[in-house]
Each structure stands twice: as C-alpha cells, then as structure tokens.
Amino acid sequence: VIDTKTRELRDQGFAVSTHVDADPAALPESVRETLGKIVTEATANMVKHGDPSGPVSILIESTDEDVEAVFINRPNANGHRIDSAQLGLLGARERVEALGGEIQVTSESPDWVVRVLIPLGN
C-alpha cells in the first residue's frame, strides 16, 4: 500500500519522501490492515487538499511496543484545512481507537500533520 500510494502521489506531482522502518509482514493482521487504510486515507487527503508544489513526508516506524505513522504535507492554495471531524478521518480514528491507539490531526504552520500511534499488544 505504501509503495502504491507513494507512486500515486508522485504521479499527481507531489515530491514525496518516505521513511519506513517497520516490517509490515511482522505486524499483527489487524494492525497491518488498519495501517493500510490509514495510508490510503491520508494520501487521498493529500491529493484532495494538498499543494503538489510543497513537500510530502510519510514516516512509518515500529518498535516492539507500537507502530507509528506520520504524514506531513502543505495545504493547497485555497487554504482549505482538514480536521479530524471529516468522515474519512472519523473512520480512521474509529479503526485506530478500536486497537487502543490514537490519531492526531494538527496544523503546524504551514503543514498538516497526521500522526497515528497503534500499540502492538505484545
């Protein structure tokens, strides 16, 4: 999913940098599926609301205790901002919280930041 969505962002003109320090195959299936849905939702929001001329970062790291995913991008020129109350992010929040995790959506000028932390329950 990460590779596919990174390619899609690049095809849309975004300059994407990814850093993945996690083995998705080693994650529990429920976490892997949720993470895939989060990647899909976050990158869809980047295409819909983001500025292709600004940088995009996707960072995914895991430890023995948890997996963290961070998505950073600039809003598009019309200044439209997303927030955690929008439908796609509500669904993402529900999936993450069902696994005991948390999702934060913030605006850190000039960027949007979506941070997801999911415990692995080991």
What's the confidence (pLDDT) of residue 85?
Answer: 47
Distance CA 48, CA 60 (A): 22
Strands (E), the chain: 15-21, 55-62, 66-73, 102-108, 111-119
Does this model's pTM top 0.85? yes
What's the confidence (pLDDT) of residue 92?
Answer: 84
Q: Which of the two residues, 85 and 28, has the higher pLDDT score?
A: 28
Angle at 68 between CA 62 and CA 70, to 5 degrees: 135
Distance CA 73, CA 65 (A): 27
14-18, 46-50, 83-87: lowest mean pLDDT where?
Answer: 83-87
What's the confidence (pLDDT) of residue 112?
Answer: 87
Distance CA 62, CA 90 (A): 23
